[in-house]
Structures are given as structure tokens and as C-alpha cells.
């Protein structure tokens, strides 16, 4: 059975802190891993990772994939209150359009 | 630029009633998905459609049916609603295996 496990489930930090969110997976025929941010409503796309060791970066957010150890991390540096959200990790299987999500990490950034 | 549009945004049903959630995308995407989101459970895949004319079960298909009416539209039907189907439902679409999925704004369904 396909599994996507995120940790921690929730995290509370102060503005300016750096956080690392984890996503591990067990899927057959892995194709790609995606990170989303969900505030009040629809998840919004952050990154898609397909190759090991190549960091994707957007402003204060960055992510990297390790296909050998089957995990990815999402880093947020100099956190702001606007980073408060649920961060979702999803894995897409090759040969299929199936996109399987983890339960998410709820990040709260306090002023 | 509408993206993925879901209707309705909110719905209350009585146990045993039926209803159809509508989803349409205007991005000419091939693949479409229906997820439900419950507290502490993340997004769980109900059904997906890799292309027009095909549908496949996801993780939690029981109690639901889907129709890929055409390339734009993918509907989710509850034939006999149950309180366990109280949830927020999200529709999503993606161009293909190599691109991200875009989400609609969700439908909050309550079954009493």
C-alpha cells in the first residue's frame, strides 16, 4: 500500500526561526514529489521534485529530494506569520495519474 | 482566469439524500481528481480520471461515483449520503504526469 508520512504533524515557532518539514514515502514506481501550502481554502503549489539532490528554491522556501532514502524536506528560513499554514506533501506514481497526499504539517508562526 | 471551479461551495444534506458535486477546469488539463479532506486525515483520493473517458478508484471510493463528462468536467455523485461523508471536497486537475495539480476552492458538505 502506498504511504506518504509527514512529520511533525504540528509545529509552533517564533517569527524569524528556521523550520524543516519532513516527508517520507513508500510508493511503487515513484515519479515525483510535490509540496503544497494550504491556508484557509485550496492548496497552492510550491515545488515539484523529480531528481535526487537538486534543491528547488523560491525566496525563503527550499526543498530537496533524496530518492535513495525515500524522503524530502521543506525548509523555511526567517519565518513570518504569513507562513502559518498546513504544508502538504504528495507523491505521484509513474504510469498512473494517482497523486497521494500525506496528512500534512500544521505550522504556526507566532509574532 | 477561473482555473478549477467547484459548485456548490456549501451543502447540507439529510441522510439518504443524493447529490452531485460539479467541477470544471478551463486549463485544457487531461487529468482530474476528487479528494476529501477531514481533520487530521490530510487529502484522501476518492476517484481520479487520467483522461477524458477514463476513471479510476482512489483510496476511499466507497459511497461515491464519478463521471468525466468531457475534458472540462468531472462530477462526483453521492447516491445515498451518510454522516460519514461529511467533509470538505476538493477537485483538482493537472496537465499530465509531469506537472502540478491545481485545486478548486472546495465544497463543504454536511450530512445530518
Reported as a single tens digit per residue, the pLDDT across A74-101 is 999 999 999 999 999 999 987 777 788 9
Are B107 and B6 in contact by the 8 Å Cβ rule? The answer is: yes
Distance from chain centroid for Cα A28: 19
Average pLDDT in chain A: 93
Q: Following CA atoms B82, A3, A101, B91 in sequence, which dihedral angle do they give, to the nearest 10 degrees?
A: -50
Most confident of A41-55, A81-95, B76-90: B76-90
Q: Is any Cβ of chain A less than 8 angstroms from the Cβ of B19?
A: no
For A88, the closest of B33, B43, B45 (CB atoms) is B43
Residues of B in contact with A50 (CB under 8 A): 98
SS3 at position A95 = coil
Q: Please give the residue of chain B at the shortest CA–CA distance from A100.
A: B45
Confidence grade of residue A2 (pLDDT, cut at 50, 70, 90)? confident
Measured CA distances, B104 to A26, A67, A104, B26, B77 (Å): 27, 30, 18, 12, 17
For B42, the closest of A34, A94, A104 (CB atoms) is A104
Q: Report which DSSP code applies to A70.
A: T
Burial class (CB in 10 A: 0-12, 13-18, 19+), B94: buried
CA-wise closest residue to A74 among A14, A20, A24: A20
Confidence grade of residue B86 (pLDDT, cut at 50, 70, 90)? very high
Query: What percent of chain B clears pLDDT 90, i.e. is strictly above it?
Result: 86
For A42, the closest of B33, B100, B106 (CB atoms) is B106
Confidence grade of residue B1 (pLDDT, cut at 50, 70, 90)? low
CA-wise closest residue to B32 among B77, B5, B61, B72: B72
Amino acid at each position: 500500500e502506498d504511504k506518504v508520512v509527514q512529520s511533525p504533524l504540528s509545529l509552533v515557532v517564533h517569527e524569524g526561526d528556521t523550520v524543516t518539514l519532513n516527508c517520507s514515502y513508500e510508493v511503487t514506481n515513484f515519479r515525483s514529489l510535490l509540496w503544497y501550502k494550504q491556508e484557509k481554502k485550496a492548496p497552492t503549489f510550491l515545488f515539484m521534485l523529480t531528481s535526487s539532490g537538486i534543491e528547488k528554491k523560491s525566496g525563503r522556501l527550499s526543498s530537496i529530494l533524496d530518492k535513495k532514502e525515500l524522503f524530502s524536506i521543506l525548509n523555511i528560513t526567517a519565518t513570518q506569520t504569513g507562513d502559518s499554514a498546513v504544508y502538504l506533501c504528495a507523491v505521484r506514481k509513474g504510469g498512473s495519474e494517482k497523486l497521494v497526499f500525506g496528512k500534512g504539517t500544521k505550522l504556526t508562526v507566532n509574532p | 482566469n477561473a482555473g478549477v471551479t467547484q459548485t456548490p461551495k456549501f451543502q447540507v444534506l439529510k441522510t439518504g439524500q443524493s447529490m452531485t458535486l460539479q467541477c470544471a477546469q478551463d486549463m485544457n488539463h487531461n487529468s482530474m481528481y476528487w479528494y476529501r479532506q477531514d481533520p487530521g486525515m490530510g487529502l484522501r483520493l476518492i476517484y481520479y480520471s487520467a483522461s477524458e473517458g477514463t476513471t479510476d478508484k482512489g483510496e476511499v471510493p466507497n459511497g461515491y461515483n464519478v463521471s468525466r463528462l468531457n475534458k472540462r468536467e468531472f462530477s462526483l455523485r453521492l447516491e445515498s449520503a451518510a454522516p460519514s461523508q461529511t467533509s470538505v471536497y476538493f477537485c483538482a486537475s493537472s496537465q499530465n504526469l509531469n506537472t502540478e495539480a491545481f485545486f478548486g476552492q472546495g465544497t463543504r458538505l454536511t450530512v445530518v
